[in-house]
Amino acid sequence: MKFNIRGENIQVTAALREYVEKKVGRLEKYFETPQPTEVQVTMHVHRGEGTIEVTIPLSGVIIRAEETHEDMYAAIDLVVEKLERQIRKHKTKLMRKLRVDSTGRIAQRESQPVAVMIPDVDEDDMDIDIDIVRTKRFDLKPMDAQEAVMQMDMLGHSFFVFQNSDTNDVSVVYRRNDGRYGLIEPK
């Protein structure tokens, strides 16, 4: 893994950089082969609390976690725990679809490669059922991102799906934890 570590309102010291690389680097044990991926790590301090965001793009899935704590080192530990839970959840889903060969590695039904290793799966993790309790259908109205944010606020939702009038693509605006807004667009 290659690391792209940057800080906002915080200087990323050599000790912080080394700690992040050591802790996040441990996640490589979950992968069959070393992933040629660039891990994006952003650290920032706001109102005395340190926040760390880690994004790991893998083939077919993006693993992302964010954690805030008064101590940046504690935030790093918490975000790594969160990432491990996400990886275990993802591999549990894969296990349902794939069979596991005798070496403990995933073997897919056909010849598509899979890069996740199954070291030890708890029985509790295997009982995770995703239960979709409601489906909504609606017409997409072309609008710009500003109008979509206003619609979202009027509805009292934390996200809003709309057709971007500038690009004609389906986009999503959402309210971030810091109170600002984000926009998700397809590539």
Tell me the C-alpha to C-alpha distance, in Å, between residue 84 and each of 7, 49, 79, 120.
23, 23, 9, 12
9 in a domain, yes or no? yes
Among candidate residues 90, 91, 68, the one with its CA nearest the CA of residue 79: 68
CATH of the domain at 155: 3.30.505.50
Q: What is the pLDDT of residue 110?
A: 42
Per-residue burial over 99-108, b if 16 or more Cβ lie within 10 Å, else e, is eeeeeeebee
Tokens matching residue 115: 């890069």
Q: What is the pLDDT of residue 105?
A: 52
Asked if 90 and 153 sit in the same domain, the reply is: no
- The total number of structural domains that make up the chain: 2
- Whether residue 117 has pLDDT greater than 60: no
136 in a domain, yes or no? no
118 in a domain, yes or no? yes
Rounded distance between C-alpha atoms, residue 90 and residue 42, angstroms? 23
**For residue range 118-157, what is the model confidence (pLDDT) as tens digits?**
444 454 555 556 778 788 887 788 888 888 888 887 777 8
Asked if 76 and 12 sit in the same domain, the reply is: yes
Q: Which residue has the higher pLDDT, 96 or 162?
A: 162
Global pTM value: 0.56
Q: What is the pLDDT of residue 62?
A: 78
**For residue range 46-97, what is the model confidence (pLDDT) as tens digits?**
888 899 999 888 766 778 889 999 999 999 999 999 988 888 877 776 666 6
DSSP secondary structure code for residue 139 in this structure: P
